[in-house]
Structure 1
Amino acid sequence: MASSKLHPDSAILIIGAGVFGLSTALWLARGGYKNVTVVDMQDTAASGYNPDTVDSASADINKIIRFSYGAEIDYQRLAMQAAAEWEDWNNQFAATTDASGLPADLRPDGAGLGERKLWRNCGMLRMSDGYQLSEVELRTLENMEKEGIREFQFRTDDPIDIDRAEKRQWGHKMDPCHRQERFGVHKAVLDSTAGFVVAYKSCSWAKYLAEKAGVKFILDPLRGKVIDISRSGDAVHEETPLVKTADGGGWTPSLLPEVSQLLETTAGSVVTIRVPQERQDLWERYSASNFPVITWRMDEGNGIYSFPRDEEGIVKIGYRKTKWTNYDDVNGLRISVPKTAHVTEKKETRIPITALEGIKGKLTHSWPEYIMTNLPDLAEFGLHSTKLCWYTDSIDNSFLVDYVPGRPGVAVCSGGSGHGFKFLPILGREVVKILEGQGESTPYGKLWGWRGADMTKGRNGLEEGEDGPRVLAKHRMASPQDWKI
């Protein structure tokens, strides 16, 4: 079906209730589309997107909200627009106290709900490990200067920025790891506009908004599980939708083999540390009021990040230096597929020992490791958990939002590449424009359109295939015996 045939009464089926699916459904409903259904094989509603029971990159305890994109100014601008929507969501969420209409996990008296905020403006410290800022960081500052937001960025080596940070009460977050004192150098930029969102609550809120706008949800292990999308455009569901938007985190390539040259299922490595509340010194130190989100050497090829503790004392640390793959047979193809804790037949909660060592601080590499270098006061607690976070990488880290060539009525909306969550409140606005055929008139329609693998700006490792070094089967997986720091 050509996009010109899309009309308010079109039966639209969205596969996957993650960030892409939720945001697209919400904006379709806001745009007057009356027959929008979201299906998912996991009952995210009953669980409140609980990351302990739901396998999805979107179902997480927290996600970074940042605006630093180097030379990619279109993403920077969209992130700034999303920030305004996050602030609006915060206000709406705090004001919605009528428990009768809210999911149980979002009600004011909900267990563990704590402060009624979806996003926390705790700042983000972009730390370098060397004696100078990276070229990407310098380009980011240049673009922020052009956009008029440089004043909210504080360089740790600039006396004017340091003074401005102190006056705006951000000084205590300029060097929370005491790197200047301990190592004699601290090169970083504190972004006072950034922070994090409580991811699972944000998804639950987006679903609540979508349902209020008229979106229907089918969340069921049988009725919500799509195992095939017909090439002929025939129904994959009894309601015979005219448009099917394929999403679902790491499952997209298995539903649409055509995207395997552009998308790949990969996994980042995540660990958590639990800070006991009786340790009030550390409980206060790692609170969002006192500790920012930190990214470390993200521009230098290593890519580690951490969050302040949550309400349960959990400090999450993620490793992005290597994004792992897991190959299996899918419809006659060998492609990377998820291997998760709950949903997949072959389950996995461990992470490769290489990632674990890089996070916790066993000195087996030529570069320093994260916890012992930056958070040594957490070492005594050891690790609380490990997890593989599966998502869909695109070949060039840009999203893929377009109609699938040769499949009438089928569009793909995926390829979050580990940076899509921040756009949850606003992503669907741009997706709907593309579905309606306005993509050529927007920067995002051009940026996210269908593209040949040989036309992209970078291959992002997809060309390695099963022979590459990132395949999980080639690595020793860490067990709880390895968790001691």
Structure 2
Amino acid sequence: MTKVEPGSPIVIVGAGCFGLSTAYHLLKRGFTDVNVLDRAETLPAKDAASTDMNKIVRSSYPDDFYTSLAKDAVKSWKDEDEWGKHYHEAGVLIMGEGAAGYTKASYANDLALGVRVVNLEDEEKRKSVFDSGVELGTAFTNKCFAYLNQDAGWVHAEGGTRRALENVRALGGTVTSGKAVAELVRESGETGRTTAVRCTDGSLYPAELVVLATGSWTPSTFPESVTQFQCLATGHSVVTIQLTFDEAILYRKSPVIYNQTTGFYIFPPNAENIVKMAIHAGGHTRDVRTDQNCTISTPRTVSTHGVIEGCRIPVEAARELRRAFREIYPALASSKPFVTTRMCWYADTQDEDWLIGPAPGDPSLFVATGGSGHAYKFLPVIGRLVADAVQGVLPENLAKKFAVDRKQQSDDKVNPESVLRIERRINTARTLDEGSLSTDKDLLPT
């Protein structure tokens, strides 16, 4: 890995969660020449996963590393001088069906690290978390393990990203929009190290170190990375409903609900009385054939297909969301249409651990991506890991955990028509059928 000095020029490609947090922590450590580039004309990028109305903030993981890091993140989110008033500690009700090993392990880690938790061991205790006027569905009567994480909630994601952008600029970092990357410029010879980034407008940005923090756009922007970095772009369907003022009062006291078995999660209403829900599972891939006659999963968003067409979700996803919604809040599910839809695109790794570290064979190229749908909550602290890796002080166990060239678990279910197919922990990614996207009729209650 190239030795990077505090005055060395560093270019970070991508102004999302990983990119901005990395810039922020490098600047805090005395680096003075940090330039963040992003393809979007305006920032935060409208179609980025980190630009959203809300994201769950919870420490409830079966991996105690993530539990501990999330506790640090919650502490940072609460620092309003640094991160603004974007965090809302509504609590997160965690549940798991069947044996619920994942959920019970999460509970044990939360308990061991001193997180305020309440074991909701029976139906009556689960009902006590909600206003008495809220009708609860079968998810709360089924035999499952559930608990309330009181040191958790949600964050206004677009606001948090905007604050990170402001923090980077306040520390002297440069963030430039409208800079889509065309190629990485490498020197000739045996090392082949990256020396600059060239954008589609012809501008050139020399660097001692380039950090790729391009999220779900990584495989399609850098095709050579698909097998080298082992990440896959998957789209996850998100919908919202609109509550009346009186309905919002009734549901506003509710916690975030997250079923760790099915992946379904739903938020309490925000200030505009909007409720968002989604399913964290396999999602959908959109395979686009390249000039090299292979296919790479590529995001389908408002920037590629327009404001209306780019927000449509698969019909099958709308139906699955309606069914899961009914199991939580049946009264709302039977009366409320989905008023907005969106596919939120993630860069998934097979083991769901992030990709943080040097690229194989290129000492001047770093990777910071692979959020796998659970990175945003760590926005205030995730760049600390990247900065540690850049400076060569990331603990060995974490360097191995996040190594770009680590051997990830394989499910031996590779689709020969796709460069890479990854099986997520909960479900398998499905191929997006762009001829079967939802219409207004598919968003009505059934």
TM-score normalised by structure 2 residue count: 0.86
String of CA shifts for 1:263-306, please: whole Å, max 9, x gaps: 011111111111133xx1x111222xx0111112x22xx31111
CA distance in 1 between counterparts of 2:290 and 2:100 reads 41
Query: For the Cα contact (< 8 Å) 1:353–1:475, is it kept in 2?
Result: no
Shift of 1:215: 0.5
CA distance in 2 between counterparts of 1:59 and 1:385 reads 15
Structure 2 residue 278 is matched with structure 1 residue 323: no
Structure 2 residue 266 is matched with structure 1 residue 306: yes
Query: Structure 1 pair 181/33, CA: closer, same or farther in 2 (3 Å)?
Result: closer
Report what 2:182 is aligned to.
227
In structure 1, which of residues 32, 35, 47 is the aligned counterpart of residue 33 of structure 2?
35
| Amino acid across the alignment from 1:355 | A
CA distance in 2 between counterparts of 1:126 and 1:248 reads 30
Structure 2 residue 354 is matched with structure 1 residue 354: no
After superposition, where does 1:37-186 map in structure 2 within 5 Å?
A: 37-45=35-43, 49=44, 54-70=46-62, 72-88=63-79, 90-92=80-82, 117-128=85-96, 130=97, 134-149=100-115, 152-157=116-121, 171-172=129-130, 178-179=136-137, 183=141
Structure 2 residue 413 is matched with structure 1 residue 456: no
Report what 1:398 is aligned to.
353
Report what 2:214 is aligned to.
248
Query: For the Cα contact (< 8 Å) 1:324–1:471, is it kept in 2?
Result: yes
In structure 1, which of residues 264, 278, 290 is the aligned counterpart of residue 232 of structure 2?
264
CA distance in 1 between counterparts of 2:101 and 2:311 reads 36
CA distance in 2 between counterparts of 1:438 and 1:125 reads 36
CA distance in 2 between counterparts of 1:93 and 1:144 reads 24
String of CA shifts for 1:193-219, please: whole Å, max 9, x gaps: 111000000000011111111100111
Query: For the Cα contact (< 8 Å) 1:125–1:174, is it kept in 2?
Result: no
| Amino acid across the alignment from 2:220 | S
Query: For the Cα contact (< 8 Å) 1:64–1:196, is it kept in 2?
Result: yes
* SS of equivalent residue, structure 1 residue 342: helix
Report what 1:291 is aligned to.
254
State the identity %: 29
Query: Structure 1 pair 406/92, CA: closer, same or farther in 2 (3 Å)?
Result: closer
Query: Structure 1 pair 404/313, CA: closer, same or farther in 2 (3 Å)?
Result: same
Shift of 1:479: 1.2
CA distance in 1 between counterparts of 2:180 and 2:405 reads 28
String of CA shifts for 1:365-389, please: whole Å, max 9, x gaps: xxxx222222122232311011111
Report what 2:425 is aligned to.
none
| Amino acid across the alignment from 1:28 | L
Structure 2 residue 376 is matched with structure 1 residue 384: no
* SS of equivalent residue, structure 1 residue 419: coil
The structure where strand makes up a greater share of residues is 2
| Amino acid across the alignment from 2:337 | G
Q: Tell me the number of residue pairs that the alignment of Structure 1 and Structure 2 aligns.
A: 420
String of CA shifts for 1:374-425, please: whole Å, max 9, x gaps: 2122232311011111110012101001111222411111000000001100
Query: Could you tell which deviates more after superposition, 311-320 or 251-260?
Result: 251-260
Query: Structure 1 pair 230/42, CA: closer, same or farther in 2 (3 Å)?
Result: same
Report what 2:327 is aligned to.
373
Query: Structure 1 pair 175/148, CA: closer, same or farther in 2 (3 Å)?
Result: farther
| Amino acid across the alignment from 2:317 | A
CA distance in 2 between counterparts of 1:210 and 1:396 reads 31
Query: For the Cα contact (< 8 Å) 2:27–2:172, is it kept in 1?
Result: yes
| Amino acid across the alignment from 2:329 | L
CA distance in 2 between counterparts of 1:174 and 1:85 reads 34
| Amino acid across the alignment from 2:256 | V
* SS of equivalent residue, structure 1 residue 445: helix
Report what 1:409 is aligned to.
364
CA distance in 1 between counterparts of 2:153 and 2:268 reads 10
Query: Structure 1 pair 395/184, CA: closer, same or farther in 2 (3 Å)?
Result: closer
Query: Structure 1 pair 184/228, CA: closer, same or farther in 2 (3 Å)?
Result: closer
Shift of 1:84: 0.9
Report what 2:242 is aligned to.
274
In structure 2, which of residues 379, 389, 394 is the aligned counterpart of residue 434 of structure 1?
389
CA RMSD of aligned residues (A): 2.8
CA distance in 2 between counterparts of 1:354 and 1:139 reads 31
Shift of 1:312: 1.6
Query: Structure 1 pair 174/437, CA: closer, same or farther in 2 (3 Å)?
Result: farther
Query: For the Cα contact (< 8 Å) 1:67–1:79, is it kept in 2?
Result: yes
Query: Structure 1 pair 466/313, CA: closer, same or farther in 2 (3 Å)?
Result: farther
CA distance in 2 between counterparts of 1:9 and 1:93 reads 26
Query: For the Cα contact (< 8 Å) 1:8–1:32, is it kept in 2?
Result: yes
Stretches of structure 2 lacking an aligned partner (at least 5 in a row) = 188-193, 199-203, 422-428
Query: Structure 1 pair 465/304, CA: closer, same or farther in 2 (3 Å)?
Result: farther
CA distance in 2 between counterparts of 1:276 and 1:475 reads 34
Shift of 1:177: 5.1
CA distance in 2 between counterparts of 1:231 and 1:411 reads 14
Report what 1:98 is aligned to.
none
Query: For the Cα contact (< 8 Å) 1:44–1:219, is it kept in 2?
Result: yes
Report what 1:107 is aligned to.
none
Structure 2 residue 174 is matched with structure 1 residue 216: yes
Shift of 1:153: 1.6
| Amino acid across the alignment from 2:251 | Y
CA distance in 1 between counterparts of 2:145 and 2:134 reads 13
Shift of 1:326: 0.7
In structure 1, which of residues 209, 230, 236 is the aligned counterpart of residue 197 of structure 2?
236
